[in-house]
């Protein structure tokens, strides 16, 4: 699988995961801080971390993608914390994916449709951000 397809797949899977229950699945503390791991939840990048980093006590738990990259002595990369299979993806993609997770205004906590059924999903702003990220991937803007 090429990297563009892999990024599209990661994006789609991430959005589908959080769309089911944004409030219950997003990794946000009671104070509204986004973390890689909080309780049993993981953020967009946190879900791809190596197991040893999936803990609230990890020193880098609330660092940005760029800060994680700066810890890597070999290259500006987050691969050192990511599980095998997702290495070699541009850090800017991970930062954009994380923004989708972190931006509260992208997520509908719930609304009621005509049947009174609870529905989770994206706001219009979230949908725009999702399509924009899909387009950036397709245009090769995250290719090395």
Query: What confidence category does residue 121 fall into, taking pLDDT thresholds of 50, 70 and 90?
Result: confident
| Residue 86 forms part of a structural domain | yes
Query: Is-contact 107 33, C-beta < 8 A?
Result: no
Q: Is 55 exposed, middle or buried (0-12, 13-18, 19+ CB in 10 A)?
A: exposed
Q: What percent of the chain has pLDDT over 70?
A: 90
Residue pLDDT, tens place only, 17-47: 888 887 788 887 777 788 888 888 888 999 9
Residue 108, strand partner residues: 121
Q: Total structural domains in the chain?
A: 1
Q: Give all strands (DSSP E) within the chain, no chain letters.
A: 37-38, 41-42, 107-112, 118-122
Residue 109, domain member (yes or no): yes
Q: Residue 107: left (phi > 0), alpha (psi -120 to 50), or beta?
A: beta
**In-domain check, residue 101:** yes
Predicted pLDDT at 144:
65
What's the whole-number mean pLDDT along residues 98-109? 84
Could you tell me the pTM of the whole model? Answer: 0.87
Domain containing residue 132: 3-138
Structure confidence at residue 109 (pLDDT): 62
3-state secondary structure of 121: strand
The pLDDT value given to residue 66: 92
Q: Over the stretch 64-78, which tens digit does the pLDDT of each residue have?
A: 999 999 998 788 999
Examine residue 143 and state whether it is found in any structural domain, yes or no: no
On average, the pLDDT of the chain sits at: 87
């Amino acid at each position: 699988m090429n990297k563009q397809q892999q990024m599209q797949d990661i994006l789609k899977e991430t959005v589908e995961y959080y769309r089911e229950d944004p409030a219950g699945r997003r990794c946000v503390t009671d104070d509204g801080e986004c973390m890689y791991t909080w309780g049993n939840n993981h953020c967009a990048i946190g879900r791809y971390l190596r197991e040893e980093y999936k803990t609230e006590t990890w020193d880098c738990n609330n660092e940005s993608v760029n800060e994680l990259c700066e810890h890597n002595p070999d290259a500006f990369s987050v691969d050192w914390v990511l599980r095998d299979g997702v290495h070699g993806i541009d850090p800017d993609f991970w930062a954009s994916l994380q923004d989708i997770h972190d931006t509260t205004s992208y997520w509908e906590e719930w609304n009621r449709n005509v049947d009174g059924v609870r529905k989770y999903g994206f706001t219009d702003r979230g949908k725009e951000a999702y399509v924009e990220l899909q387009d950036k991937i397709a245009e090769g803007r995250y290719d090395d």
